[in-house]
Amino acid sequence: MKTLIKDCSFILTMDDDESELSQRDILIEDGIIRSVGHDHPKADHVIDGSGCVVTPGLVNTHHHLYQTLTRAVPGGQDALLFGWLQTLYPIWGRFGPEEMYVSAQVGLAELALSGCTLTSDHLYLYPNGARLDDTIAAAQEIGMRFHPTRGAMSIGESAGGLPPDALVEHEADILNDCIRVIDAHHDARDGAMVRVGVAPCSPFSVSRDLMRDAALLARDKGVMLHTHLAENDEDVAYSLEQFGCRPGQYAQDLGWTGDDVWHAHCVKLDGQEIDLFAKSRTGVAHCPCSNCRLGSGIAPVRAMRDAGVPVGLGVDGSASNDVGNLVSEARHAMLLQRVANGADAMSAREALYIATRGGAEVLNRPDCGQIAVGKRADIAMWDVTGIESAGSWDPAALVLAGPTRVKHLLVEGRQIVDAGHVTTIDLPTVIARQNALARQLAG
């Protein structure tokens, strides 16, 4: 089937030249962009692009979808990272397969409405029979491109760790389940809709052995590695005290640097660690709203980008954001760099580049993140005829003045948002189910 997006008012391509085009059509066939021009080719399905700024679909590099069920929990609203985790662990311990599935549907739909076409997820607890497969089913149903990671925690309270013993797993079981989900779901081909990663939760919730074994396993299977790193001062202090080194050194010693690795947060990386990440092409998932919400600090994104570190954006889990709006995350990334480094520290276009192409680079998806012939047809269309853009002299500067929800969204050429509505699931029913589950969890 051929789809034509006709008469796009403006296209921010994020191609190698960062070309910006006006009054063009985009022709899509078999999930791939076939042409970008203005000769109105024939198609089976036509989408009107007039009045729209068109961008590549946004790429989310860090999330914990299950946390959409624990937004704004009173005891965790004002806590720092470690206290916040200790409030939430007992609630998460009551989750099961249905909670994982429904919360993922909500989180994925929320991302789609904010322009996201490709998201990773970091699921690191598996209580009461929950499996990574529960979230993969939700992504397949909604039609999002999905990079789930098999997370894990193995050091419980009784062994000096942070999580309660009931939420941790034996390390042999963790590795076996990583192999199971990779074999069942990972697709290494161009255009893959599902790619699995390996992702022990953080250096303070798994052993040194598991970190090293996870890296060996991931390299053996050809999948990516992901974890949390250097999130705040407590995190760095823990590393110095327990491991006798900074987080970057710990990562390097255990095989956790390279272009097949990306770390969430990295708020506290120092100059040497930034150099290490740049030289090794280790990626960073920058989560500005979560960093603000938990008071973690401002990540040195300007310095990372200048040094050549691949940087993408993440909304992070909805228990620490509590919003899952990715284009809003791009705005906050831009604003925070300006707070730290001045008004010329990051442009609106650079923020959008990080949100699209940057994220695709972090996730090793050269087939995504740009509007160019031969790339996958993951496309966000933003209506700039509404109030948010009224009076704007530069509607393409979307994160300065523009809508925070898409009009249309295509993933692999399939339209999953039409006129502001998710087409693939019955969202009101899903929201009602989610609220019922939240009430049950609250007792």
Q: Which residues here bind Zn ion, judged by CB under 5 A?
A: 316
SS3 127: helix
Q: Which amino acid is at 347?
A: S
Q: Residues 163, 156: contact at Cβ < 8 Å?
A: yes
Q: Which is nearer to Zn ion, 333 or 411 (CB)?
A: 333
Q: Which is nearer to Zn ion, 89 or 382 (CB)?
A: 89
CA distances from 231 to 83, 227, 245 (A): 14, 11, 15
Taking the complex as a whole, how short is the minimal distance between the CB of residue 60 and Zn ion, in angstroms? 12
Q: Which is nearer to Zn ion, 99 or 316 (CB)?
A: 316
Which residues fall within 8 angstroms of residue 23, CB to CB, at 6 or more apart? 7, 8, 9, 38
Taking the complex as a whole, how short is the minimal distance between the CB of residue 287 and Zn ion, in angstroms? 7
Question: Which residue number is nearest to Zn ion in terms of Cβ?
Answer: 316
Q: Is the dihedral of CA 73, 78, 81, 83 positive or negative?
A: negative
Q: ∠363-300-322 over CA atoms, to 5°?
A: 65
Taking the complex as a whole, how short is the minimal distance between the CB of residue 228 and Zn ion, in angstroms? 5
Q: Which is nearer to Zn ion, 316 or 378 (CB)?
A: 316
Taking the complex as a whole, how short is the minimal distance between the CB of residue 285 and Zn ion, in angstroms? 8
Q: Residues 367, 357: contact at Cβ < 8 Å?
A: no
Q: Which is nearer to Zn ion, 123 or 175 (CB)?
A: 123
Q: Which is nearer to Zn ion, 171 or 316 (CB)?
A: 316
CA dist 356 and 313 (Å) reads: 9
CA dist 148 and 139 (Å) reads: 9
Taking the complex as a whole, how short is the minimal distance between the CB of residue 198 and Zn ion, in angstroms? 16
Q: Residues 50, 4: contact at Cβ < 8 Å?
A: no
Taking the complex as a whole, how short is the minimal distance between the CB of residue 205 and Zn ion, in angstroms? 12
Q: Residues 353, 14: contact at Cβ < 8 Å?
A: yes
